Amino acid sequence: MSFGYGPAHDRQEMISVLRSAVARGVTFFDTAEVYGPFTNEELVGEALAPFRGQVAIATKFGFQLHEDGKPGFVGPDSRPERIRTVAEASLKRLRVDAIDLFYQHRVDPNVPIEDVAGAVKDLIQAGKVKHFGLSEAGVKTIRRAHAVQQVTALQSEYSLWWRRPEEEVMPVLQELGIGFVPYSPLGKGFLTGKIDESTSFDSTDFRNILPRFTPEARKANQALVVLLGEIAARRNATSAQIALAWLLGQKPWIVPIPGTTKLHRLEENIGAAAIELSADELTQIESAASNVKILGDRYPEQIEKMTGL
């Protein structure tokens, strides 16, 4: 709504979409200080102010931002003093007394994860944060953090076209009782079937820099979209709904966070929760997807290095 996918959208329209989400039963919202920066937290804070106690808001720390306020970040920064500063500022922007879920946005190689977890533990004991989360962390980091402060949720990319978490991360989450929050569950829009090699993105859309979104990759990766479309047609659903239903069918402790700026897409995404794929359908998707070779890395190398996977 504020960052990453082209120009920020009209604030009042986005407030309307967010409040419509609550009216339709959505209770979990995701933001971060770096989105904007700051403007998305302010938007979420204003939109959800009437619903205190009815919704949970997750936000994130972990980046050093540009001093002039321009989009993006300088690099990772999870020093304990920085975490405390971010928490206080996020509380004000979100208009809450406590942050429901406070994620480390990316692992900081310069700060031991024990120090990070300890800083969040202090915030929890002070009543300013309710739950601690990690994002894109690997299994060793998850275990070390969890030993200091219980990790409630891990947010990482996961969808039919990015399945790396299945290899090592998800078994550890199940073992430790940590929830999984997949971001980009629709492959940054690709799995909806609305993007092909001829699609043009706004100059400020970060998909322009992603190897997986080059025209050549988009053309090659259409095979996965065709598969989803075939199943969707049989179920009288959309490709996006089948992609989300597949995620929901993997584990009961998965809560995907599809993003949108449009009310009709919000309603479409919500509709996925009512679609229960059969064991046969899940097997069919698994079998067909295993024959689709996805072309292109998901991030440029310098960004991928910031993940713990």
Edge-first strand listing for the sheet containing 151-157: 28-30, 56-61, 99-104, 129-135, 151-157, 179-183
> For residue 104, which of 137, 129, 55, 74 has the smallest C-alpha distance?
137
Classify residue 201 by its DSSP letter.
-
Q: 228 is written with which tokens?
A: 């989803």
216: exposed, middle or buried (C-beta count within 10 Å: 0-12, 13-18, 19+)? Answer: exposed
Please answer whether residues 258 and 186 qualify as being in contact, where contact means their C-beta atoms are separated by less than 8 angstroms: yes
Give the C-alpha distances (Å, rounded to integers) separating 194 from 47, 128, 157, 229. 28, 41, 20, 11
Q: Does the annotation mark 35 as catalytic?
A: yes
Which residue type sits at 240? A
Which residue out of 5, 35, 103, 158 is catalytically annotated? Answer: 35
> For residue 14, which of 222, 274, 263 has the smallest C-alpha distance?
263
Distance CA 95, CA 111 (A): 29
Q: Which residues have a catalytic role annotated? A: 35
